[in-house]
Structure 1
């Protein structure tokens, strides 16, 4: 097998790209030290379907995805190492809640006041963008007709842009992404009001291919050491990450129950 890709695409915005490269380079070096033929990579596309093909590919050694596609598909190809912790967002286990945002021009102050409004999701296989939003709606209604059929924007940045353009009314956004964009692209987050939080869920998993030489234990130890390095502190801080929480595949199985709840009021199509 040729050199195998290593990437962290979930929060690799241009504004923090150099910091992401520094972190990924350290992970590549650790994998090489464990006998893997690893190379720094950047996926060619941020579109969900393209990323799914990338994550499934045997040439992808280590990457980061979303918890929902992991339990529905990617668990056949990869094993979870853990997840970054987020300063001021996640708990010590690496679990967090999405932010539910609405345009400030609208009167809604809670999910119960979203009736008749237009939701936007990132994509229907997003734990933060679709599933968490559906779970919040399920707390206040039992019928899909409570809100308009969702618009799919592909990415969280797309959802926020539709809110800014007045083409959608509310959304659920990954909290790490929202914090990062508040700092680096305030034009996407201003004029929005946080009216709630999604269910507590394990954050975006970093995973290792099932086709590997390195053991999960060795790589979890290496990841914890990398995330604690003094010379990478600025890089992690620029993105908003504060540490690494080792996890198991089974930590994500609870998402299945959330999917059923979300489907009841915000059905995928």
Structure 2
């Protein structure tokens, strides 16, 4: 079996410590072939579709765009970060402190940076927010695809872009570990809430093993003796979710398309 927790790897050592505890809990629950170490795949799309995937963390937008045919949803972590409520999260809209712009409407004709077109936090949520403001399918003057939230932040700070929508958990983790990176940013809004990044397992996982996965995660995040390990990743809880809970991601996509704004532009 293979396992990964790739989406909030700002501090990989902290992620590995969390996995060490969770892996032990999974073994205690009777799951076989629990890997001792996490994979850190370059090709996440292929990794998530592997039939021997025990556990990973994906993004809600790829989930509803087709990944759901290959995986089962285990649930989502709850995070202690500004913009999170329960297992819901938002993207925070950030710009440079020296720009005298204060809300999304002020960024008409400006350059937006986004991590990838299959991102809920960097693309789909922002597209839905901007859709009512577009004219003839356009709002921004230019777009820059960066490949990662951190690189979107760097594009904004470096002047290559003026605004970006950053996953609020990613932003909080970066602010904690490297406060100097976000010192030049200011917050100018947020996207609508969406269900948090789905914890997933292979579609071949049995109902019994799905229950063991959920119980092991609940054991890990609820154990007071392990609080410091969870807190290092801002994990404050876990909620059992199913694919139907991610319909909001689909609704955001459909709303933008219906408004004549199929692409961030």
- TM-score (norm. length: structure 1): 0.90
Query: What residue number does 2:18 align with?
Result: 23
Among candidates 181, 191, 197, match of residue 198 of structure 1: 191
Shift of 1:138: 1.8
Cα separation, partners in 2 of 1:34 and 1:74, compared to 1, 3 Å: farther
Instruction: Answer with 182-191 or 127-136: which moved more.
Output: 182-191
Unaligned runs of 5+ in 1: none
Structure 1 segments of 4 or more deviating over 6 A?
Answer: none
Among candidates 6, 10, 24, match of residue 9 of structure 1: 6
Among candidates 217, 220, 223, match of residue 217 of structure 2: 223
Shift of 1:88: 4.1
What SS does the corresponding residue of 1:265 show, helix, strand or coil? coil
Paired residue total: 259
Instruction: Answer with 150-159 or 133-142: which moved more.
Output: 133-142
What are the Cα deviations for residues 181-227 of structure 1, in whole angstroms up to 9, with x where unaligned?
11112233121111111011001011111222443233212211111
Shift of 1:97: 1.4
User: What is the alpha-carbon distance in structure 2 between the residues aligned to residue 23 and residue 136 of structure 1?
Assistant: 34
Query: What residue number does 1:212 align with?
Result: 205
Tell me whether 1:57 sits opposite 2:50 in the alignment. yes
Trace 1:235-246 onto structure 2 (pairs within 5 A). Answer: 235-246=229-240
Cα separation, partners in 2 of 1:185 and 1:34, compared to 1, 3 Å: same
| 8 Å CA contact 1:36, 1:212 repeated in 2 | no
Trace 1:100-139 onto structure 2 (pairs within 5 A). Answer: 100-139=93-132
Tell me whether 1:259 sits opposite 2:256 in the alignment. no
What are the Cα deviations for residues 215-249 of structure 1, in whole angstroms up to 9, with x where unaligned?
32332122111111223211221221111111111
Trace 1:62-211 onto structure 2 (pairs within 5 A). Answer: 62-89=55-82, 90-92=84-86, 94-211=87-204
Instruction: Answer with 115-124 or 104-113: which moved more.
Output: 104-113
Shift of 1:149: 3.3
What SS does the corresponding residue of 2:254 show, helix, strand or coil? helix
Instruction: Answer with 248-257 or 227-236: which moved more.
Output: 227-236
Shift of 1:268: 5.9
User: What is the alpha-carbon distance in structure 2 between the residues aligned to residue 150 and residue 61 of structure 1?
Assistant: 36
What SS does the corresponding residue of 1:267 show, helix, strand or coil? coil
- TM-score (norm. length: structure 2): 0.91
Note the aligned Cα RMSD (angstroms).
1.8
What SS does the corresponding residue of 1:151 show, helix, strand or coil? strand
User: What is the alpha-carbon distance in structure 2 between the residues aligned to residue 147 and residue 197 of structure 1?
Assistant: 17
Instruction: Answer with 244-253 or 132-141: which moved more.
Output: 132-141
Shift of 1:75: 0.6
| 8 Å CA contact 2:26, 2:212 repeated in 1 | no
